């Protein structure tokens, strides 16, 4: 058991005290310790990316399988050259357009990066976050910070410091409590070692945004389909694991809005008669249509960014309420919707009830 210290840093303008705290947090990283910190996507669990012992500690703290590589966070574009063996023109174009920001690039690694950090791969994932606290910590910590999301493996990524503490208290040295991440879903991952570049994980930076800079970009088909449907594993090793899952059994219901509400209400009464505690994930626009034990709005359909920001918190809240079944509305798979649906489908183990094409039959072939 490690004593986990929590410090508060406001991202606006660092006071002298906050600067000193950040230097102390950086020292913890340089000495091989672990510090969780806010980024603009979700909270990260940081360790020195060039120290194999730190990476091993990250895997242990999260209970993460060691073949699931970590993203290395940098604070200066000039630092990229040290950890990759080659910088293709496409990487410079993307860095220019989207860094600092929620985009991770896969590139061939240099010898400086230990295989413990890359899960045994010859490639390395690199991102420059835009959150001021993250940038300051990376600089103080030596410039290269491996930071997966700061949750226990399999749980929703943390979007506030309290969620980090739920999972990491007693397992890491420090938690930096900054503000809530503005985005709420992990970074877009794009593989630049293939031609055309390929999106391995969708995020705030959409395919359309990448294509405006690079021309054609492909998408790993496993993003919106289960490995069983695609007959192959996702290319990002981490995407093959069960993820973001609430404790209750989550089903996504697809179809025309009125019918979805009618169907969910019917299922809720049936489940409750069987003794289940049932939750519903609705939206601002539809919330009043539902009758269940716990009904929550994930955001507004008129502003998908609100849905991205709240999705993980809502999944954790259902755990606190100890609901045993959850029904969720489904969202468009275009633009930011692709990232929202990717996370929701994984949280549901790809359990979808399609009212249009299947006459209400369930597609639970992928449910384990
Ligand atoms: P997280 O750290 O929780 O945001 O997860 C990082 C994601 O990046 C996981 O899905 C990893 O499998 C993926 N990833 C990291 N490094 C690589 C790499 N070199 N090649 C492919 N995917 C990677
Ligand atoms: Mg994660």
pLDDT score of 367: 45
pLDDT in tens, 43-53: 999 999 999 99
Quick check: CB of 200 below 6 Å from ligand 1? yes
- Report CA(354)–ligand 1 centroid distance (Å): 31
Quick check: CB of 237 below 6 Å from ligand 1? yes
Q: Considering every ligand atom shown, identify the ligand nearest to the alpha carbon of residue 187 and give its number.
A: 1
Higher pLDDT, 269 or 227: 269
pLDDT score of 223: 84
For the domain made up of 249-358, the CATH class stated in words is: alpha beta
- Report CA(318)–ligand 2 centroid distance (Å): 19
Quick check: CB of 345 below 6 Å from ligand 1? no
Domain coordinates of the chain in residue numbers? 5-223, 249-358
pLDDT score of 363: 53
Quick check: CB of 71 below 6 Å from ligand 1? yes
pLDDT score of 159: 96
pLDDT score of 214: 97
Maximum distance among all Cα pairs of the chain, rounded to whole angstroms: 63
Q: Considering every ligand atom shown, identify the ligand nearest to the alpha carbon of residue 123 and give its number.
A: 1
- Report CA(54)–ligand 1 centroid distance (Å): 17
How far is residue 102's CA from residue 74's CA, in Å, rounded to a whole number? 12
Give the contacts of 349 (CB within 8 A, at least 6 positions apart). Answer: 242, 245, 250, 366, 367, 368
pLDDT in tens, 86-124: 999 999 999 999 999 999 999 999 999 999 999 999 999
Least confident of 204-213, 235-244, 271-280: 235-244
Whether 368 has a pLDDT exceeding 50, the answer reads: no
| pLDDT bucket at 11, cuts 50 / 70 / 90 | confident
- Report CA(294)–ligand 1 centroid distance (Å): 34
Whether 82 has a pLDDT exceeding 60, the answer reads: yes
Match domain 5-223 to its CATH number in 3.40.50.1370, 3.60.130.10, 3.90.870.10, 3.40.50.670: 3.90.870.10
pLDDT score of 366: 44
- Report CA(59)–ligand 1 centroid distance (Å): 13
Pocket test for ligand 1, best of 45, 115, 125, 191 (most atoms within 8 A of CB): 125
Give exposure, 159-188, as e/b (b: 16+ Cβ within 10 Å).
bbbebbbbbbeebbbbbbbbeebbbbbbbb
């Amino acid at each position: 058991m490690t004593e986990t210290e929590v410090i508060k840093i406001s991202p606006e303008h660092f006071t002298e005290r906050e600067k000193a705290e950040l230097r102390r947090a950086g020292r913890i990283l340089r000495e091989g310790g672990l510090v969780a910190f806010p980024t603009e996507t979700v909270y990260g669990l940081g360790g020195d990316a060039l120290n194999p012992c730190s990476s091993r500690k990250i895997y242990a703290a999260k209970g993460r399988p060691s073949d699931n590589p970590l993203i290395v966070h940098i604070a200066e574009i000039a630092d990229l050259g040290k950890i990759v063996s080659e910088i293709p023109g496409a990487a410079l174009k993307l860095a220019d357009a989207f860094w600092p920001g929620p985009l991770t690039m896969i590139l061939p690694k240099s010898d400086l990066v230990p295989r413990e950090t890359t899960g045994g791969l010859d490639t390395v994932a690199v991102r420059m976050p835009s959150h001021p606290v993250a940038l300051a910590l990376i600089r103080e910590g030596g410039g290269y910070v491996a930071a997966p999301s700061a949750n226990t493996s399999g749980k929703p990524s943390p979007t506030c410091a309290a969620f980090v503490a739920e999972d990491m208290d007693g397992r890491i040295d420090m938690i930096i409590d900054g503000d809530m991440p503005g985005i709420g879903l992990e970074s877009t991952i794009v593989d630049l070692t293939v031609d055309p570049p390929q999106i391995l994980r969708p995020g705030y930076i959409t395919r359309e945004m990448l294509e405006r800079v690079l021309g054609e970009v492909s998408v790993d088909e496993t993003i919106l389909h289960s490995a069983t449907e695609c007959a192959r594993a996702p290319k990002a090793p981490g995407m093959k694991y069960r993820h973001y899952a609430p404790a209750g059994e989550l089903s996504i219901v697809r179809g025309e809005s009125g019918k979805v509400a009618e169907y969910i209400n019917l299922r809720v009464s049936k489940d409750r008669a069987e003794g289940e505690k049932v939750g519903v994930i609705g939206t601002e626009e539809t919330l009043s249509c539902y009758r269940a034990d716990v009904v929550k709005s994930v955001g507004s359909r008129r502003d998908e960014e609100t849905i991205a920001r709240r999705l993980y918190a809502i999944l954790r809240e259902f755990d606190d309420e100890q609901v045993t079944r959850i029904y969720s509305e489904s969202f468009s798979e275009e633009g930011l919707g692709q990232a929202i649906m990717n996370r929701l489908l994984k949280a549901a183990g790809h359990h979808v009830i399609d009212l249009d094409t299947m006459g209400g039959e369930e597609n639970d072939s992928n449910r384990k």
